Structure 1
């Protein structure tokens, strides 16, 4: 009888879905099985709802939490992104004025992964995918109303990964303390779709997200593009693990002015920069910049060509208490462009307490910085110390708090 009831509900709901336009919320299908009910979601969510841990939710295309609507996700819930490339990639989008309340726990993290992942209700990890499986769906996109700095000094802009023709996707504004909700103990795996040049869906995209938003204990695993990218905004983020992303681990743009505190970056063989840090794209710049502190950067070994950091577009940033090890001999901190060199000279890019295990063949930290104006390289070298092993470090992330992560379960650190 239970299966019949679910079948009738599914048929009735499907009929509603087909009678609505594409902006309406839809439960496309419900499948009752031994591992819980699989519920496929698509389109706009226009009323408050809760996703529960006894079901698996499948994102079919973009699922958008509309303005004025709250999506609550229970601890331990598994959400899977359907297959689809380019503009058809699946993603969960929290639109401006919408809110997500996704508060997992260390024992019951909320997991976003691919529909190809065989993880089931009650599990923390499937058995059929590895870090080689990337780009299988999109990612999680949160859009707020905090200030941004973009070309033309526009107050708002359309986020990467969402076509400009869509009715959602704007971010930015003037509300520094804007609140998009809570993300805690979230693991995002096997996503990251490339749509075009400089147009991708990252593992976690934060567009104009305000300081009223709580983002804490976040893991991004095997993402095709960047693990986490900020586009302006003021949100602070704590306790982050990124593992084996295809491009950059931590990417900040458009005069983000928050703080990242306690992060572990574990590079993969194809990773680009551990830290890709950009400045404002418009005339507006936050004079205090952003702060990244208490971070451990673990490279991919002696053959790695990844950069420790790529400092671009006249950024203003404070980079404190950084441990780096297991990088290759060509890995550098790159001061990228005349505008960034100018900011370094002016003391608006600061380094404090970096400790680095030098790669084989590298004899001094002075070899690790490029692109600075003559004499300004000392702003890095005077604050960077060579150490013999990561175990000797006095700075870096507190990795003890990451025992709940996928990365820990596969002994990535």
Structure 2
């Protein structure tokens, strides 16, 4: 698993001054309606971003502790260019809230400044899922438990200095509330901020179960689609398309449930599911559940699932298709092999459309004699239309991926 580095941008003050004549219409809520609004550094007060404007992230924009950023349905946010310390991203710090509740008809869209999408539109015309790494991503940091070396209760997202006023995640409040994200599409992100280090589409660090994560789409991100660093937040109706690394990535003893997800690989994608174990002691171990997952491997040669570092996982109702012989489940290393043997990695109701010449026996590798724990809970099918498990794809009718006939 690649580790992500997020470098701090020195907070600058940027802004525009607008004027209007006596004949101009005035919006009592936001008199700047119809403008491109530049944002940078820490928000000083609670803010509401409205659908009538396009918001430009200039470098890191931080929602600090005690503040709430509310984003209206249909709002478009564009990340500016810039790599390394100048990479743009929206960071929701511990104790802050992001209320980004779009709707199926009016999703909230995070995209690149290069995207020609305009107010009121759901997509532009000049970019596709192949355009990746054009800005950073969205990072939410909470106070829920994590598992890191030394059993520390908190950690700093790598690359942000320890004395920065943001960047810490983790704690003791499993029910912590970082806000609500619904019907949010995050596109063309994952910019490189160092050698082999990019930002995820959506990063969830120590995010608690009081937070809502529902109907999230990640398109063309250069690194992982979504990554959980510990925490206990439940997530439903997730779609990742053409991630440059893993589709869904879990580590540091995440303990929630991920339900109804569609992973569509691109040519450069890594594992559909990269699942890492706890980094602390036995006392910090937590298991999680993934259920109702569809994996379209798109004839990519990378893994369907990579089970690593003693992960504790319940994986059920999963359908995988468009596979190559190399696209398998790998039980990676002695720690994970031991957890499979001990029954702390579980499989239930898998259906697999195998490649020509494939078998369930060869679909799981490095299981060290424990292959039956998968095979007895899996079924080979002969056509995708025969699948009885996996995601309910009707949940994704609102997405950009659906509009582009990606599924």
TM-score, normalising length from structure 1?
0.90
User: 1:45–1:65: 8 Å Cα contact kept in structure 2?
Assistant: yes
Query: Paired residue for 1:392, among 358, 369, 386?
Result: 386
Decide which of 6, 10, 15 is 1:28's aligned counterpart: 15
> Equivalent residue for 1:14?
none
Asked if residue 373 in structure 1 is aligned to residue 368 in structure 2, the reply is: yes
User: Matches of 2:221 and 2:191 in 1, distance apart?
Assistant: 8
Farther-moved stretch of structure 1 (186-195 vs 265-274): 186-195
Alpha-carbon deviations, 1:300-355, whole Å to 9, x = none?
22xx2111100000000000000000021111100000000000000000000000
Q: Which runs of 5+ in 1 are unaligned?
A: 1-20
Aligned-pair CA distance for 1:45? 0.7
Pair 1:31–1:119, CA change in 2 (3 A):
farther
Counterparts of 1:211 and 1:193 in 2: how far apart (Å)? Answer: 29
Partner Cα separation in structure 2 for residue 327 and residue 161 of structure 1: 36
Q: Aligned equivalents of 1:223 and 1:179: distance in 2?
A: 26
After TM superposition, the structure 1 stretch with the greater mean CA deviation from structure 2, 283-292 or 114-123, is: 283-292
Say if 2:322 is the partner of 1:307.
Answer: no
Offset at 1:74? Answer: 0.2
Distance 1:361 1:205 in 2: 38
Pick from 353, 357, 360 the counterpart of residue 357 of structure 1: 353
- For 1:16, the equivalent position in structure 2 comes to none
CA drift of 1:399 comes to: 0.4
Q: Distance in 2 between matches of 1:71 and 1:163?
A: 24
Q: What are the superposed Cα offsets for residues 100-153 of structure 1, whole Å, 9 maximum, x if unpaired?
A: 111000000000000000000000000000111100000000000000001122
- 1:62-103 Cα offsets, whole Å, 9 max, x none, are 000010000000000000000011222100000000001110
**Equivalent residue in structure 2 for 1:401, among 387, 395, 407:** 395
Task: For 1:78 and 1:31, locate their aligned partners in 2 and report how far apart those are by CA, in whole Å.
Answer: 20
Give the Cα–Cα distance (whole angstroms) in 2 for the partners of residues 355 and 163 of structure 1: 45
Match of 1:218 among 216, 219, 223: 216
Structure 1 position 345 matched with structure 2 position 332: no
SS at 1:388's partner residue? coil
Shift in alpha-carbon separation, 1:35–1:120, aligned structure 2, 3 A: farther
Query: TM-score scaled to structure 2, two decimals?
Result: 0.92
Q: In the alignment, which residue of structure 1 is the partner of 2:199?
A: 201
Question: Alpha-carbon deviation of 1:22?
Answer: 5.2
Change (3 A) 1:186 1:254: same
Give matches, 1:72-221, under 5 Å. 72-160=70-158, 162-164=160-162, 166-196=164-194, 199-221=197-219
What is the rounded CA distance, in whole Å, between the counterparts of 2:160 and 2:385 in structure 1? 43
Query: Per the alignment, in what secondary structure is the counterpart of residue 373 of structure 2?
Result: helix
Shift in alpha-carbon separation, 1:88–1:265, aligned structure 2, 3 A: same
Counterpart CA distance in 1 for 2:33 and 2:123 is 14
Distance 2:356 2:18 in 1: 55
Contact 1:261-1:294 at 8 Å conserved across structures? yes
In the TM superposition, what whole-angstrom CA distance separates every residue of 1:12-65 from its partner, at most 9, and x where no partner exists?
Answer: xxxxxxxxx9557x4523689x99200010000121110000000000000000
Tell me the residue number matched to 1:250.
248
Q: Any conservation in 1 of the 2:198–2:222 contact (CA below 8 Å)?
A: no
Residue 31 of structure 1 contacts residue 37 of structure 1 at CA under 8 Å; is this kept in 2?
no
SS in 2 for 1:46: coil
Q: Please say if residues 44 and 65 of structure 1, whose CA atoms lie closer than 8 Å, have aligned partners that are also in contact.
A: yes
Report what 1:278 is aligned to. Answer: 276
How far off is 1:411 after superposition?
0.1
Distance 1:161 1:109, change over 3 A: farther
Whether the 8 Å CA contact 1:160–1:199 is kept in 2: the answer is no
Mapped to 2, the partners of 1:67 and 1:167 lie a distance apart of 9
Partners of 2:286 and 2:176 lie apart in 1 by 19
Dislocated runs of 4+, deviation >4 Å: 21-24, 284-288
Cα RMSD for the two superposed structures: 1.8
- In 1, the alpha carbon distance for the partners of 2:117 and 2:17 equals 18
Q: CA deviation at 1:285?
A: 5.4
CA shift for structure 1 position 245: 0.3
| Contact in 2 for aligned 1:87/1:161 (Cα 8 Å) | no
Q: How many equivalent residue pairs?
A: 387
Partner of 2:50: 52
